[in-house]
Amino acid sequence: MAGGWEQDKRVGYGRYHYYNGDIYDGTWQNHVRHGHGTYTYGDSGAQWTGTWNNGIRVVDSAIPTTPDNDLVSLCASTHASAA
């Protein structure tokens, strides 16, 4: 974890590398994702950039992308996995 700590909790801007290869790069508050940030999925490279509220992604604000910015492929793969 690169970023700020306050009373043993993440705070402010930071980057966190999860054990599964995912990365969150953005702001933290009270040890959870909060504010603007980008979450990158390690297995696919797909990203969500947008707003987080107390650890929960605010979907209306998020912009999904893939490493090559192919939104059509991302939407198609998301739809196929939901079926």
* Angle made by CA atoms 7, 10, 15, in degrees to the nearest 5: 155
Which structure tokens are listed for 63? 């912009």
What integer pLDDT is reported at residue 51 of this predicted model? 92
* Nearest in space to 16 (alpha carbons), one of 5, 3, 29, 6: 3
Largest CA distance in the chain: 44
Tell me the C-alpha distance between 79 and 72, whole Å. 10
Task: Map out the domains of the chain as residue ranges.
Answer: 2-82
Tell me the C-alpha distance between 50 and 36, whole Å. 6
What integer pLDDT is reported at residue 5 of this predicted model? 77
What integer pLDDT is reported at residue 10 of this predicted model? 83
- What is the chain's pLDDT, residue by residue, as a tens digit (83 residues)? 566 777 888 888 999 999 999 999 999 999 999 999 999 999 999 998 999 999 998 876 555 566 665 554 444 444 344 44
What integer pLDDT is reported at residue 1 of this predicted model? 56
